[in-house]
Amino acid sequence: MRRRVGAVLASISVALGAVVAVTGVMVVDVTKADGTRVVVPVPLLLAQAAARFVPPTAAAEVERQVARVRRYLPAAEEALAAMADSPDCELASVDQGDEHLRVHKVGESLNIRVDNPREKAELNVPFDLAQRALREARDGRVSPPDLVRMLRHSRLTRLVDFHHNGGDHVRIKIW
């Protein structure tokens, strides 16, 4: 009997693990200014469910912003596709005093870096993710859960790396 219960529990754990592995995990890694490190793995499935509870006002704001630019989305999709097909390169660089912005095409992603005396931020946006987001936005299907769901297509990506000078260092990876 005990062996059967053990087998059932083990199979449930394996099944849950498999679901999480298939649907992806977002790992939020925060290093506080005092050196304290907190690593929180969040299954994307759970994050997607949690996103359903985003206040309607926030969801409406997302929809309002998308509606404003909807007619430009097909052009943006096409522009992204052209950039995705180009070789790796620096696409944009803006310097103003000690503030710097760099946008590179690196492999399958757009790498965006912002650097100023107060903070350093790095964002990696897979073209596939951006194109899916634009496509769904064009079709009027963008909502917070949809946005989280799309992260499933960004596996093995260091999505965000944000370092506030003298403060917290936040990294978000998708596994």
Partner 1 sequence: MNARALVVAAFAVPLLGGGAPSASPSAETAWVHVRLEEPAKQSRLRLNLPLPAVEAALKAAPDSIAVEGGTPITREIDLDRLRRRWKELETTGNAEIVSFEEGEARESISKMWGRLLIHLQDDRESKTIDVAVPEALVDALFSGAGQELNIRAAVAYLRTMRGDVLRVHDRGLALHVWIDGSADAPEGK
Question: Which parts of this chain interact with partner 1 (CB under 8 A)?
Answer: 71-72, 74-76, 78-83, 85-87, 89-97, 99, 101
The residue (of 34 and 98) whose beta carbon lies closer to partner 1 is 98
Q: At 114, list the tokens.
A: 């912002």
Which segments of 32-156 are extended strands (E)?
37-43, 89-96, 99-106, 109-115, 119-126
Burial status of residue 172 (CB atoms within 10 A of its CB: 0-12, 13-18, 19 or more): buried
DSSP type of residue 6: H
The residue (of 42 and 114) whose beta carbon lies closer to partner 1 is 114
The residue (of 65 and 86) whose beta carbon lies closer to partner 1 is 86
